[in-house]
């Protein structure tokens, strides 16, 4: 304790370990009622019941990444093909098969492929960005059981106010409640 | 039906990652040797020249391009199962999709080798890529081969990312139980995934979009591959039905390959309670459909050849069926269209032995199909003066083809021991959510 | 009697001189080419220099020009001014280069050691040996018989050798040619009292009947004949020549005929006589009634019916042909070629002479006085005599000068065995051929492209052979004549008095002083000599020497003409024929001649036995089966080739292969049919009996590789090689076949030039000259039999050959007469080239002058272009090309050699286009029509290929391209080829058209 006292606390809070989904939902409701809005839920599967409760059903912004990535791909693909076509045909006089510099039907295929490619890349980027990945080890309240079969409700709060929160979670049906804090890594 | 719980799922699936036994290592060693052999043959070919393969004029495309198309085809059903069936919310796909997806990626990695092996000057392959250079030389975007380059690279990138995306939560699960190098690897690969609500929200949305991108992609890729042929004027190649015909064929062969891989996998990793007979039945049913589509395509080709009144086309197709290589044609018809019909009988499609044999034969048949289309058509084009119908399949070709098969299997073997071949997350998702009160079930 | 001295004495002479060291002689070739450090003033690097000379690849003596770069010959072409070939060359001539640079040439003088090995010696030693020999022969053994066996020589060369060997009391010079045309000589002697072989004016003939004369392949002077033939064909349609070929096998010549009459082997004479008979009977003969009557008696028992019985040719066909031939004004009948030289050969020639005579063709199309004199060329009978003398040990010293009798004479003649009895054998051959391999002293001569010579192909032409590059560039060869001059001078002062010359060139020059006085006394000799050398010789029109029918002919016994084997039994007539590529076998060591597909069978690198499929079925033989062919005189084994172009009762086997010692490329190409021939000669002429042998065949349970460049013979009604009937053409009702002109894309134009080509299928005779010319001009490699069989032959140009049953022709002797189409196929340089758009790296594209360009450096080798080329004219480099040293020295420096893994194809000889345009630019003008001639067009004896600018409305190519006969091969594909083919004209014979009486 005293050794770590020199480091600044990065995140501290109480985590309750649950087995049942409806218990989680209930605990979240209660916490919210008592003003603990900034909470997060660890879950082994994307439980729609929980997500509906915790993350309000507004859509993820990842979809805009998908859209604009795709559009960029279309434009880039056609532009690249046409640029090369004009460069080789018009400026270097390389006529092939009697076809014009911008042979639209052929170039559509390139455009299409790049649409998909950039669209997908952007989507992945969006996902990583918004999920704040990659993340280091120091996440308060996480435990291996959350990747197996337990749900965890984490309510950030400092040591002084931990007591009532722990009580709250226990009442909601947490199998186990613990206070954790992680420190900034130097 | 044993009661499945989240923790049970975790345990059983992660158990497949435990340090393998001797059999596994022997298999890996043999496969590696096979890959080495293939490498040696390729080296010989580069050293001596393309002449060591069986090609000639007029048949300038032969076993390599055939195998390229074959592997690209294999790739397809992976995406079909993971993406298309996902969009259609086909629940039964859950346990099979991971291995199908992995198969896709590895099949594309194998397919991707062949255009290079096929090049007369393989060391200049990068000239096919558009990159700025002081000589102001660019590739020709009108060439179907360049479409291939784009389609295949896109396909590889997207399906690899798709596979990875789906893996992240599973890797995290593995991470939390692993030790040593595995833990370090998983920690890195899982990007510190914690399964928080925000993560899951974006994850689901991203996954959905990937599925949405992959679906048209899978259709486009094999269409583009088929256009390598349709864009030419070779009788037997120049046909408008190739795109749908090839896509169907691709999925046909892909399904066969999935079955071929899953049956041993199921036995090996004792995944019986995840991969149930139902799943194989579904795959088999799908094969009946694709098989019929392919058969229809064969028929239509002949009809068009006759109906078009084009003497070149007609002669090519008569030669295809009744010429010196007719046997290959008929073999392909029986394997691809005939055998899958057996699956109409429930007894047969539930019998793993039958399933395995048929799907292996379908794979053979699909390779033959591509060979018949590509090589045999070329022997019989416009000027009879250049007709030349004897093939000389060389040991170099054989070595390279065998090597490529080993390469594919090797990748799959390694994958199966490092990453879960059945999606932990989705299997869990498929289970009923654990609730305190049973009554909640009712009024949910 | 000279049994007194023995072989050892002579061999000693060869060995005594061998005191010197061998250091001076280095057979090891210099492996690197050293660039000029100080360039000689007279050679500008990068500039071509042309030297005119004469082709000596066969006795025809065509004029030749050699193009040299940096002192090396890189291409030979016909001399446009030369009266014989007017710029054209055949495949053999084109391949002369591969004789010059042939790695199998003898590196330096060789001597037989007492143990019987051949060991290299220096030229000093070699000449010492000869000097010793000459002294010995002059002083000690004055009565020794010394003989020179040489190829056909004439003019100063002949005089030189005759005089030189006259210094030996019993010295003699024998000229030996495997094809010595004995029958022609004898036949003419009997009919016209002269043994001259006349000049046949094929060009003037309206109707040509050939009785086994393969005049488009090897007969007399094939290029000259081909040119004349094409000219006769090209005359205005109505009077264009019609041609009937009578021979048991469809040779290349017969394939160009309007009608092929597959008469029984050996029955040609009967047919010819029947024609005479019918012409006389129908009173169409152009001669006095008395003469007609006399000749009538002579041929009395050769009516059409008899002829039908003997030849299988229906009597009414014979009558119709007789009518045709008699009315043709003038006509021309040609006598036997090698294949028809059977027991009735002379009878045939006499008959042909009569036929020409009764139709009044003699002194019109048959021109004596302008022909060639073969008197001094030994007949086969004379050779047999000489062999007899050898066997009797009455030949002591024998010199060989470019003659290879050990190979070219049938084994039954026993030359090789008799040669053992010759005490000393000296050879001047540049190659270690079968004869040379048996010699004791070998003094390699220069090849014709390195030596001085005079040659007189026929009256009025004195052609010069001059060195086109320095001899001894790689092989230590010396011109035989020079060596002899030196030797004679050293051997004996008295001897050398008639030969006060440094070298043969000086001798030749001196000889020509007489010519100068006779021909052009007005100009100075130096001037005359220079111009003569520059022109490659001198030639003038010589007057025709009219002949009359001699009485001898009425005493001639035509019975051989009746002795035709007509009964059907298990024996076959053996038909031995020479091929345009290998001639009498001297072409066998040229890789390009070996890989050039035989015009009819398309076989490469091998001998074969032609069987009719019918026959094959009877004997259970299939393509490539090893066949045992046995005659009373010998037996050979060779692969069978099934073809409908040969009679059912005939087995046809080509000459030219079966070398046992003629370098790497002549080896292992199957046997020679000579082994089957009998020793006896044709009674009247003393000619070798190439024909008349009966053979039996048996199938052996072995298959042999029989590589062919083309397997399919029919064009499957695809109308690839198209035909237009003469009648339509005359009626002017010929319209061009419709072609699609639609395109999704806007049309592109060619401002400036638009290079194009027109190929006249009616002129093309399928002789392969263009194929070899192209290959040599463009450094196209050969790949060998196995690779050809795999479909990897590299020729940029090929001659596709199709045949169908000839319309309205009845089978003759079970053989359906065929209509053959030759279709020269090369890159079509399409406007909408399918190959271009599929190349992923722009390695092939369409340049602004309409060329379909292939950029080797950019090619990555996807081979997609080849798949997408409907003409399949693109050639992929499956391996790195092999150019065994010093063949690489003959590569064309203007053309890139390709590496493995890239695609190559016809470029329309872009290097020549470039050169011509540069020159035009220097003289600031535009390129003139006909200034640019691709290698194929340049060498075409039939002038069937015309190249030029399609944008120029007056250019020849444009004129031809617009012809109503014009069409594009596979035009329906809308690839817009730059090559227009002109349809072959179908002239039916007998031609039934109004105005011709029945």
**How are the residues of chain A apportioned to helix, strand and coil, as percentages rounded to the nearest 5?**
55, 15, 30
User: Is the per-residue pLDDT at B88 higher than 90?
Assistant: no
Contact C710 B146 (CB under 8 A): no
**Closest-CA residue in chain C for A105?**
C744
Rounded Cα distance between C183 and C197, Å, is: 10
Query: pLDDT value at position C40?
Result: 63
Predicted confidence at residue C39, as pLDDT, reads: 58
The pLDDT tens digits for C656-693 are 999 999 999 999 999 999 999 998 899 999 999 999 99
Closest-approach residue (CA) in chain B for A121: B158
CA distance, residue A1 to nearest chain B CA (Å) = 26
Quick one: pLDDT at residue C15?
65
Chain C 563-592, residues with CB within 8 Å of chain A CB atoms: none
Does the pLDDT value for residue B440 go beyond 60?
Answer: no
Mean pLDDT over C384-408 rounds to: 95
- Partner-chain residue, chosen from B5, B158, B436, that has the shortest CB–CB distance to A20: B436
Question: Above 80 in pLDDT, residue A123?
Answer: yes
CB of C703 within 8 Å of any CB in chain B?
A: no
Share of chain A above pLDDT 90, in %: 51
Residue C992 pLDDT > 60, yes or no? Answer: no
In this predicted structure, the answer to whether residue C872 has a pLDDT above a threshold of 70 is yes
CB contact under 8 A, A20 and B173: no
Res B438: pLDDT: 53
pLDDT grade for B266, boundaries at 50, 70 and 90: confident
Mean per-residue pLDDT, C106-131: 92
The residues near C162 (Cβ < 8 Å, ≥ 6 apart) are C173
Q: Given CB atoms, is A98 within the 8 Å cutoff of chain C?
A: yes
- Using one digit for the tens of pLDDT, what is the confidence trace for C295-328? 999 999 999 999 999 999 999 999 999 999 999 9
Sign of CA dihedral C665, C670, C672, C675: positive
In this complex, do B147 and A113 lie within 8 Å of one another by their Cβ atoms? yes
Contact A44 B217 (CB under 8 A): no
What distance in Å separates residue C800's CA from the closest CA in chain B?
6
Q: What is the dihedral of CA C718, C721, C726, C730, to 10 degrees?
A: 90
Cβ pair A40:B200 closer than 8 A = no
Q: What is the mean predicted confidence (pLDDT) over C101-123?
A: 93
Q: Average pLDDT for residues B179-193, to the nearest whole number?
A: 92
B310 has a chain C CB within 8 A of its CB = no
Is any Cβ of chain C less than 8 angstroms from the Cβ of B395? no
- Which of B120, B136, B308, B391 is the best substitution to test chain C (most C C-beta atoms within 10 A)? B120
Tell me if A44 and B428 make a contact (CB, 8 A cut-off). yes
Cα–Cα distance between C192 and C220 in angstroms, integer? Answer: 19
Chosen for mutation from B47, B383, B391 (greatest number of chain C CBs closer than 10 Å) is B383
CA–CA dist B165, C34 (Å, integer)? 66
User: Is C839 in contact with B140 (Cβ distance < 8 A)?
Assistant: yes
CA distance C661 to C678: 23
Is pLDDT of B377 > 80? yes
Q: How many CB pairs under 8 A join A and C?
A: 40
At C709-730, the pLDDT tens digits run: 999 999 999 999 999 998 888 8
Question: Could you give phi then psi for residue C126, rounded to 5 degrees?
Answer: -60, -50
* Contact check, Cβ <8 Å, C837/A99: yes
* Stronger pLDDT, C170 or C385, i.e. the higher one: C385
- pLDDT value at A85 more than 60: yes
* Residue B42 at interface with chain C, using a CB cutoff of 8 Å: no
- Percent pLDDT > 70 in chain C is 95
B–C interface: beta-carbon pairs under 8 A: 162
pLDDT for the residue B443: 40
Taking phi first (over 0 means left), then psi (-120 to 50 degrees means alpha), and beta for anything else, what does residue C437 get?
A: alpha
Range among A142-151, C24-33, C546-555 rated most confident: C546-555
Residues whose CB is less than 8 angstroms from the CB of residue B404 and which lie 6 or more positions away in sequence, other chains included: B38, B67, B71, B110, B113, B114
Percent of chain C exceeding pLDDT 90 equals: 83
Q: Are B412 and B103 in contact (CB under 8 A)?
A: yes
List the chains bordering chain A where 3 or more Cβ pairs fall under 8 Å.
B, C
CB pairs below 8 Å between A and B: how many? 196
Q: For B272-295, what is each residue's pLDDT tens digit?
A: 888 888 889 999 999 999 999 999
Q: Which of residues 744-783 of C touch A (CB under 8 A)?
A: 745-748
Least confident of B244-258, C490-504, C652-666, C935-949: C490-504
Q: Give contacts of A55 with chain B, Cβ < 8 Å.
A: 197-198, 200-201
Q: What pLDDT was estimated at residue C26? A: 42
Q: Tell me the C-alpha distance between C462 and A17, whole Å.
A: 116
Residue B233, chain C, CB below 8 Å: the answer is yes
Q: Is C717 on the interface with B (CB under 8 A)?
A: yes
Return d(Cα A105, Cα C931) in angstroms, integer: 43
Of B412, B425, B429, nearest to B100 (Cα)? B412
Q: Are C775 and C935 in contact (CB under 8 A)?
A: no
Q: Do the beta carbons of residue C712 and residue B385 sit within 8 Å?
A: yes
Q: Is any Cβ of chain A less than 8 angstroms from the Cβ of B151? A: yes
The beta-carbon neighbor of B199 closest among A80, A103, A131 is: A131
- Of C922, C937, C894, C895, the closest CA to residue C755 belongs to C937
Mean pLDDT is lowest, of A8-12, B69-73, C11-15, for C11-15
Q: Does B210 touch chain A (CB under 8 A)?
A: yes
CB nearest C842 (choices: A88, A100, A103) = A88
Nearest by CB: C839 against B57, B60, B143:
B143
pTM: 0.93
Secondary structure (DSSP) of C595-641: HSPPTTT-B-SS--EEE-HHHHHHHT--TTEEEEEEETTEEEEEEEE
Q: Over chain B, what HEC string results?
A: CCCCCHHHHHHHHHHCCCCCCHHHHHHHHHHHHHHHHHHHHHHHHHHHCHHHCCCCCCCCCCHHHHHHHHHHHHHHHHHHHHHHHHHCCCHHHHHHHHHHHHHHHHHHHHHHHHHHHHCCCHHHHHHHCCCCCCCCCCCCCCCHHHHHHHHHHHHHHHHHHHHHHHHHHHHHHHHCCCCHHHHHHHHHHCCCCCCEHHHHHHHHHHHHHHHHHHHHHHHHHHHHHHHHHHCCCCCCCCCCCHHHHHHHHHHHHHHHHHHHHHHHHHHHHCCCCCCCHHHHHHHHHHHHHHHHHHHHHHHHHHHHHHHCCCHHHHHHHHHHHHCCCHHHHHHHHHHHHHHHHHHHCHHHHCCHHHHHHHHHHHHHHHHHHHHHHHHHHHCCCCCHHHCCCCCCCCHHHHHHHHHHHHHHHHHHHHHHHHCCCCCHHHHHHHCCCCCCCCHHHHCC
Residue B402 CB neighbour total at 10 angstroms? 15
For chain C, the first-to-last Cα distance in angstroms comes to 71
Q: Is A1 exposed, middle or buried (0-12, 13-18, 19+ CB in 10 A)?
A: exposed
Retrieve residue C111's tokens.
């001597």
Which residue in the set A44, A99, A147 is minimally distant from B142, CB to CB?
A99
What is the pLDDT confidence band of residue B403, given thresholds at 50, 70 and 90? very high
Of B56, B144, B389, the CB nearest to C792: B56
Q: Is the pLDDT of residue C273 over 60?
A: yes
Asked if B59's CB is within 8 angstroms of C973's CB, the reply is: no
Coil vs helix vs strand at C555:
helix
Interface test with A, best of B222, B433, B441, B443 (most A CBs within 10 A): B433
Count of residues making up chain A: 186
Cβ–Cβ below 8 Å for C745 and A103: yes
Question: Does C31 or B143 have the greater pLDDT score?
Answer: B143
Instruction: Give residues 44 to 63 of B whose Cβ lies within 8 Å of C.
Output: 48-51, 55-61
Give yes or no for residue A55 having a pLDDT over 80: no
The answer to whether C105 and C428 have CB atoms below 8 angstroms apart is: no
Instruction: Give the pLDDT of residue C18.
Output: 47
Q: What residues are paired with C148 via a beta bridge?
A: C173, C399
The residues in C 834-893 lying below 8 A from A, measured between CB atoms, are 834, 836-839, 842, 844-848
Secondary structure letter of residue C996 according to DSSP: S
Tokens of B145: 């081969």
What's the sign of the alpha-carbon dihedral B404, B407, B409, B411?
A: negative
Backbone φ and ψ for C146, nearest 5 degrees, come out as: -120, 130
Residues of C whose CB is below 8 A from A88: 842
- Given pLDDT bands bounded at 50, 70 and 90, which one contains residue A23? very high
Name chain C contacts of B388, Cβ cutoff 8 Å. Answer: 711, 791
pLDDT tops 80 at residue A57 = no
CA distance C184 to C186: 6
| Chain B contact present for C806, CB below 8 A | no
User: Subunits that touch chain C (at least 3 Cβ pairs < 8 angstroms)?
Assistant: A, B
C504: closest CA of chain A, how far (Å): 57
Helix, strand, or coil (residue A90): helix
Q: Which residues contact B222 (CB under 8 A, 6 or more apart)?
A: B72, B73, B76, B243, B246, B247, B249, B250
Which B-chain residues 368-397 have CB contacts (< 8 A) with chain A?
A: none
Say yes or no for a CB contact (<8 Å) between C745 and A94: no
pLDDT band at C35 (very low <50, low <70, confident <90, very high): low
Spatial CA neighbour of B49 closest among A120, C437, C166, C787:
C787
Contact C829, C758 (CB under 8 A): no
CB C879 within 8 A of CB C900: yes
Distance CA C969, CA C985 (A): 16
- With b for 16 or more beta-carbon neighbours within 10 A and e for fewer, the C928-956 pattern comes to ebebbbbbbbbbbbbbbbbbbbbbbeebe
**Long-range contacts formed by C945-949: CB under 8 A, 24+ apart:** C945/C757, C945/C758, C945/C759, C945/C760, C945/C764, C945/C770, C945/C824, C946/C757, C946/C758, C946/C759, C946/C760, C947/C755, C947/C756, C947/C757, C947/C908, C948/C755, C948/C756, C948/C757, C949/C753, C949/C754, C949/C755, C949/C756
Contacts of C718 in chain B (CB under 8 A): 311-312, 382-384
**Which residue, among A109, A115, A134, A144, would best test binding to B if mutated, counting the most B CBs under 10 Å from its CB?**
A109
Q: What is the mean pLDDT of chain C?
A: 91
Q: What is the pLDDT of residue C622?
A: 95
Asked if B6 is an interface residue toward chain A (Cβ–Cβ < 8 A), one would say yes
Tokens describing residue C252: 């290349």
Query: Cα C8 to chain center, whole Å?
Result: 42
Mean pLDDT of C244-258: 95
- Cα–Cα dist C877/B124, whole Å: 16
Residue of C nearest to B375 (CA): C867
Question: B14-50, pLDDT tens digit by residue?
Answer: 888 888 889 899 999 999 999 999 999 999 999 999 9
Report residue B20 as tokens.
């393998």
């Amino acid at each position: 304790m005293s050794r770590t006292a020199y480091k600044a606390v990065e995140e501290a809070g109480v985590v309750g370990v649950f087995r049942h989904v409806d218990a989680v939902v209930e605990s979240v409701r209660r916490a919210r009622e008592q003003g603990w809005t900034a909470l997060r839920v660890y879950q082994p599967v994307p439980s729609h019941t929980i997500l509906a409760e915790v993350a309000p059903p507004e859509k993820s912004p990842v979809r805009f990444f998908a859209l604009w990535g795709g559009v960029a791909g279309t434009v880039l693909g056609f532009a690249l093909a046409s640029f090369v076509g004009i460069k080789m045909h018009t400026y270097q006089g390389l006529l092939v098969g009697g076809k014009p510099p911008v042979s639209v039907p052929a170039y559509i295929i390139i455009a299409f492929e790049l649409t998909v490619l950039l669209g997908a890349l952007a989507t992945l980027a969006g996902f990583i960005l918004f999920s704040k990945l990659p993340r280091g080890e120091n996440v308060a309240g996480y435990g291996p059981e959350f990747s197996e079969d337990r749900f965890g409700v984490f309510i950030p709060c400092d040591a002084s106010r931990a007591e009532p929160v722990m009580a709250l979670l226990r009442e909601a049906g947490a199998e186990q409640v613990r206070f954790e804090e992680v420190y900034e890594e130097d | 039906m044993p009661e499945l719980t989240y923790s049970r799922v975790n345990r059983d699936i992660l158990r497949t990652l435990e340090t393998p036994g001797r059999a596994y290592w022997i298999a890996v060693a043999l496969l590696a040797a096979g890959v080495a052999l293939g490498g040696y043959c390729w080296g010989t070919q580069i050293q001596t020249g393309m002449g060591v393969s069986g090609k000639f004029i007029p048949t300038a495309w032969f076993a390599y391009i055939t195998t390229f198309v074959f592997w690209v085809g294999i790739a397809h059903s992976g995406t079909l199962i993971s993406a298309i069936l996902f969009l259609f919310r086909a629940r039964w796909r859950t346990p099979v999709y991971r291995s199908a997806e992995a198969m896709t990626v590895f099949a594309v990695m194998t397919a991707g080798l062949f255009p290079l092996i096929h090049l007369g000057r393989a060391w200049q392959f990068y000239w096919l890529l558009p990159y700025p250079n002081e000589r102001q030389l660019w590739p020709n975007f009108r060439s179907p081969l360049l479409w291939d380059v784009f389609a295949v690279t896109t396909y590889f990138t997207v399906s690899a990312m798709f596979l990875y995306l789906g893996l992240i939560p599973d890797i995290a699960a593995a991470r939390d139980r692993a030790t040593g190098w595995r833990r370090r690897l998983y920690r890195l690969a899982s990007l510190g995934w914690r399964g928080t609500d925000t993560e899951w929200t974006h994850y689901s949305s991203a996954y959905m979009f990937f599925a949405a991108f992959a679906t048209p992609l899978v259709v486009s890729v094999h269409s583009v591959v088929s256009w390598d042929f349709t864009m030419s004027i070779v009788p037997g190649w120049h046909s408008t039905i190739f795109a749908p015909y090839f896509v169907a064929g691709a999925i046909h062969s892909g399904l066969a390959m999935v079955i071929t891989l899953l049956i041993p996998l199921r036995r090996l990793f004792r995944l019986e309670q995840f991969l149930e007979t139902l799943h194989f039945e579904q795959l088999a049913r799908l094969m009946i459909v694709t098989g019929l589509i392919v058969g229809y395509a064969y028929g239509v080709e002949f009809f068009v050849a006759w109906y078009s009144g084009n003497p070149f086309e007609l002669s090519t197709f008569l030669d295809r069926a009744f010429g010196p290589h007719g046997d290959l044609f008929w073999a392909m018809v029986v394997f691809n269209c005939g055998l899958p019909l057996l699956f109409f009988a429930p007894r047969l499609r539930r019998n793993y032995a039958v399933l395995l044999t048929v799907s292996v034969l379908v794979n053979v048949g699909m390779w033959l199909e591509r060979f018949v289309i590509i090589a045999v058509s070329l022997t019989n084009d416009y000027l009879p003066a250049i007709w030349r119908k004897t093939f000389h399949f060389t040991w170099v070709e054989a070595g390279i083809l065998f090597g490529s098969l080993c390469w594919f299997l090797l990748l799959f073997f390694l994958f199966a021991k490092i990453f879960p071949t059945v999606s932990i997350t989705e299997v869990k998702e498929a289970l009923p959510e654990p609730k305190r009160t049973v009554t909640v079930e009712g009024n949910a | 009697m000279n049994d007194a001295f023995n072989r050892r004495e002579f061999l000693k002479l060869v060995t005594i001189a061998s005191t010197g060291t061998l250091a001076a002689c280095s057979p090891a070739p210099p492996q690197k080419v050293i660039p000029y450090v100080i360039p000689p003033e007279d050679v500008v690097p990068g500039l071509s220099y042309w030297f005119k000379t004469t082709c000596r690849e066969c006795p025809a003596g065509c004029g030749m020009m050699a193009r040299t770069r940096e002192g090396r010959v890189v291409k030979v072409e016909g001399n446009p001014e030369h009266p014989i070939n007017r710029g054209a060359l055949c495949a053999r001539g084109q391949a002369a280069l591969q004789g010059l640079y042939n790695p199998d040439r003898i590196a330096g003088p060789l001597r037989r050691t007492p143990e019987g090995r051949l060991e290299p010696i220096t030229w000093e030693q070699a000449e010492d040996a000869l000097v010793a020999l000459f002294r010995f022969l002059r002083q000690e053994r004055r009565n020794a018989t010394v003989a020179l066996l040489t190829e056909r020589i004439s003019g100063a060369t002949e005089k030189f050798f005759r005089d030189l060997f006259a210094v030996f009391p019993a010295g003699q010079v024998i000229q030996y040619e495997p094809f010595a045309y004995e029958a022609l000589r004898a036949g003419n002697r009997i009919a016209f009292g002269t043994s001259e072989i006349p000049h046949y004016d094929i060009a003037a003939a309206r109707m040509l009947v050939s009785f086994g004369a393969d005049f488009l392949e090897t007969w007399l002077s094939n290029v000259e004949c081909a040119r004349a033939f094409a000219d006769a064909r090209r005359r205005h349609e109505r009077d264009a020549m019609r041609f009937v070929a009578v021979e048991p096998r469809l040779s290349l010549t017969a394939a160009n005929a309007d009608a092929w009459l597959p008469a029984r082997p050996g029955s040609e004479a009967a047919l010819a006589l029947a024609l005479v008979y019918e012409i006389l009977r129908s009173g169409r003969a152009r001669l006095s009634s008395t003469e007609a009557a006399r000749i009538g008696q002579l041929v009395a028992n050769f009516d059409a019916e008899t002829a039908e019985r003997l030849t299988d040719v229906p009597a009414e066909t014979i009558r119709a042909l007789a009518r045709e031939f008699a009315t043709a004004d003038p006509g021309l009948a040609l006598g036997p070629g090698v294949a028809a030289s059977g027991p009735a050969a002379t009878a045939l020639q006499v008959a042909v002479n009569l036929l020409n005579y009764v139709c009044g063709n003699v002194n019109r199309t048959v021109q004596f006085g302008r022909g060639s004199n073969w008197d001094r060329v030994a007949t086969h009978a004379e050779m047999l005599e000489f062999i007899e003398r050898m066997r009797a040990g009455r030949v002591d010293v024998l010199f060989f000068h470019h003659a290879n009798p050990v190979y070219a004479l049938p084994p039954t003649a026993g030359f090789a065995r008799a040669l053992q009895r010759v005490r000393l054998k000296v050879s001047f051959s540049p190659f270690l051929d079968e004869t040379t391999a048996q010699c004791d002293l070998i003094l390699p001569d220069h090849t014709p492209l390195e030596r001085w010579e005079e040659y007189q192909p026929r009256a009025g032409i004195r052609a010069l052979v001059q060195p086109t590059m320095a001899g001894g560039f790689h092989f230590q060869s010396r011109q035989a004549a020079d060596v002899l001059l030196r030797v004679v001078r050293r051997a004996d002062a008295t001897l050398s008095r008639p030969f006060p010359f440094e070298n043969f060139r000086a001798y030749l020059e001196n000889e020509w002083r007489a010519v100068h006085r006779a021909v052009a006394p007005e100009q100075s000799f130096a001037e005359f000599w220079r111009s003569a050398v520059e022109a490659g010789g001198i030639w003038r029109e010589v007057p025709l020497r009219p002949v009359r029918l001699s009485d001898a002919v009425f005493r001639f016994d035509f019975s051989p003409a009746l002795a035709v084997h007509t009964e059907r039994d298990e024996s076959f007539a053996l038909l031995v024929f020479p091929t345009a590529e290998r001639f009498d076998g001297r072409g066998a060591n040229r890789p390009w001649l070996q890989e050039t597909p035989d015009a009819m069978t398309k076989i490469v690198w091998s001998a074969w036995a032609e069987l009719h499929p019918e026959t094959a079925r009877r004997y259970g033989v299939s393509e490539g089966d090893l066949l045992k062919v046995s005659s009373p005189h010998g037996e050979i084994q060779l692969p069978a080739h099934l073809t409908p172009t040969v009679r059912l009762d005939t087995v046809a086997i080509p000459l030219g292969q079966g070398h046992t010692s003629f370098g790497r490329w002549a080896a292992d190409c199957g046997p020679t049919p000579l082994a089957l021939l009998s020793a006896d000669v044709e009674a009247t002429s003393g000619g070798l009996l190439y024909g008349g042998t009966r053979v039996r065949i048996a199938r052996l349970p072995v298959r042999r590789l029989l590589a062919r460049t083309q397997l399919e013979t029919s064009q499957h009604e695809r109308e690839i090689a198209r035909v237009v009937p003469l009648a339509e053409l005359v009626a002017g009702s010929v319209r061009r076949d419709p072609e699609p002109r639609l395109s999704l894309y806007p049309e592109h134009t060619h401002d400036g030039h638009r290079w194009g080509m027109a190929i006249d299928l009616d002129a093309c005779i399928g002789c392969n000259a263009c194929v070899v010319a192209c290959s040599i001009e463009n450094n196209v490699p050969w790949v060998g039999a196995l690779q050809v069989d795999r479909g990897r032959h590299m020729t940029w140009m090929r001659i596709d050959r199709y045949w169908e049953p000839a319309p309205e022709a009845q089978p003759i002797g079970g053989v359906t007469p065929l209509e053959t189409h030759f279709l020269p196929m090369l890159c079509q340089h399409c406007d909408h080239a399918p190959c271009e758009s599929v190349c992923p790296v722009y390695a092939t594209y369409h340049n602004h002058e309409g060329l379909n360009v292939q950029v080797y450096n950019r090619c990555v080798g996807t081979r997609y272009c080849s798949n997408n080329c409907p003409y399949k004219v693109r050639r992929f480099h499956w391996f790195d090309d092999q150019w065994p040293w010093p063949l690489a020295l003959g590569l064309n420096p203007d053309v890139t050699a390709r590496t493995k893994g890239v695609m190559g194809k016809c470029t329309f000889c872009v290097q020549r286009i470039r050169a011509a345009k540069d020159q035009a630019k220097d003289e600031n003008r535009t390129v003139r029509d006909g200034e640019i001639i691709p290698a194929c067009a340049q060498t075409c004896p039939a002038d069937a290929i015309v190249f030029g600018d399609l944008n120029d409305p007056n250019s020849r190519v444009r004129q031809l391209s617009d012809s109503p006969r014009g069409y594009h091969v596979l035009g329906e594909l809308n690839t817009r080829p730059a090559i227009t083919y002109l349809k072959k004209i179908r002239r039916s014979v007998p031609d039934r058209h109004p105005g011709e009486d029945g």
